[in-house]
Each structure stands twice: as structure tokens, then as C-alpha cells.
Amino acid sequence: MTDKLYNEGLAKGKQEADNLLSQARSQAGEIVAAAKAEAEKIVADARREAEDLKDRVAGDVKMASTQTLAALRQQIEQMIETKVVGDKVDAALADKQFMGKLLQTVVGAFSAGGVSEGLDVILPAEMKASAEGFLSANIGQELSKGLTLDFTDAIEGGFRIAPKGKGYFIDFSDESFKALIGEYLRPATNKILFG
């Protein structure tokens, strides 16, 4: 009878152990499947984020290189324009005969336009010592009609002229000539350099 009880208890315990083992295996399979699914999701998210980062970095690098190339081209154009235009404009505006003729022409144009009296001519400060004789020889009669001379450190070459009381001036300074000529030269320079 003990054997029977022992065998029945053993069979019952074995059955219970098998049930527990089966449940544990089932739960382990579910846990492993959930862990695999989570791992796959994490890997997929990481790949997507890496691709997004790669795309953003590539876009940023492309934009930065495009901007750098454009800035470099502009600097090259400006260097060439400064070399080609700058020296020639400086030389022309340093030529007293050319300056006298230019100033005489401009003053004459104002006179022909009905502004015969009251012009202010603003010259570079470095011309102050030589301007009186130079201008007397070139536009002497205009000086007697109310043309006044002012000198400033704001311009290095050329001049500015303004009708008195009108609130504007016309700029014939070296910088304005360089900028004007540079605007016409820039497209040709760009085409020659960069096609």
C-alpha cells in the first residue's frame, strides 16, 4: 500500500513537475520572443536614427561646402577686381590734370543744370595743401561763383560735390568709382574664372 501511495504521489508530483516545467518553458519562450522583438525594435530605431543623422550631416556638409565655395569665389573675384580696378582708379584720381578736368566737367554740368551758385566740393584732406592752386588753374572762374571747398579724411581720392542746401551729394570718390566699375566687371570676371 505504501508502494501504491508512493507511486501515486510520485506520479502526481511528476505530473505537477511536468506541468510547471511546461509552463516555465512556455513563459520562457514568451519572454525570449518579447526580448527578441524589443531587441529588433531597438536595432531598427538605432538604424533609423543613424540614417537620419547621416542624412542631416551630409546635408549640412553639402550646404557648408556650397557656402564656402561661394564665399571663396567672391573673395577671388574681389581680389582680382581690386587689383585690376583699384590700382588704375587710384592712379587716375591721383592725376591732377584728370581730376581738374573731371571736376570742371561736373561743375559745368551743375552750372548748365541751373545750379550755378552754391556748390560744395569735398576733397581728401591730403589735397588741402595743393588744392587751391590746382583748382584755381582748372576751375578758377567757378570758384568766384560760390564754389566752396571742404576737406575730409573720409575719402582718400576723388571728390564729392553737393549743391548747397539741397540735402544730397554726388560721390566721385575712389571707393564709389571702384564699386561702380566692379559691378560691371564682376559678371565678366565670374565668367572668365568659373565658366
List, for residues 48-78, the tens digit of each pLDDT value. 999 999 999 999 999 999 999 888 888 887 7
Per-residue pLDDT at 136: 62
Number of domains in the chain: 1
Q: Are 106 and 177 in contact (CB under 8 A)?
A: no
Q: Give the whole-angstrom CA distance, residue 21 versus residue 34.
A: 20
Tell me, yes or no, whether 48 lies in a domain. Answer: no
SS (H, E, C) 106-148: HHHHHHHCCCCCCEEEEEEHHHHHHHHHHHHHHHHHHHCCCEE
The DSSP line for 68-114 is HHHHHHHHHHHHHHIIIIIHHHHHHHH-HHHHHHHHHHHHHHHHHTT
Q: What is the CATH number of the domain that holds 109?
A: 3.30.2320.30
Average pLDDT over residues 181-193: 74
Average pLDDT over residues 145-165: 80
Tell me, yes or no, whether 20 lies in a domain. Answer: no
Residue 194 is inside which H or E element, if any? helix 174-194
Least confident of 3-7, 86-90, 113-117, 182-186: 113-117
Radius of gyration of the chain (CA): 44
Tell me, yes or no, whether 38 lies in a domain. Answer: no
Q: pTM value?
A: 0.51
Average pLDDT over residues 15-27: 83
Q: Which residue has the higher pLDDT, 81 or 172?
A: 172
What confidence tens digit (pLDDT) does each residue in 118-149 have?
788 888 887 777 666 666 665 656 555 667 77
Residue 161 is inside which H or E element, if any? strand 158-163
Q: Are 178 and 83 in contact (CB under 8 A)?
A: no
Per-residue pLDDT at 2: 66
Per-residue pLDDT at 185: 74
Cell numbers 580696378 label which residue? 85
Which residue range is the domain that position 90 belongs to? Answer: 80-194
Query: What's the whole-number average pLDDT of the chain?
Result: 79
Tell me, yes or no, whether 42 lies in a domain. Answer: no
Tell me, yes or no, whether 51 lies in a domain. Answer: no
Closest CA to 164 of 184, 188, 145: 145
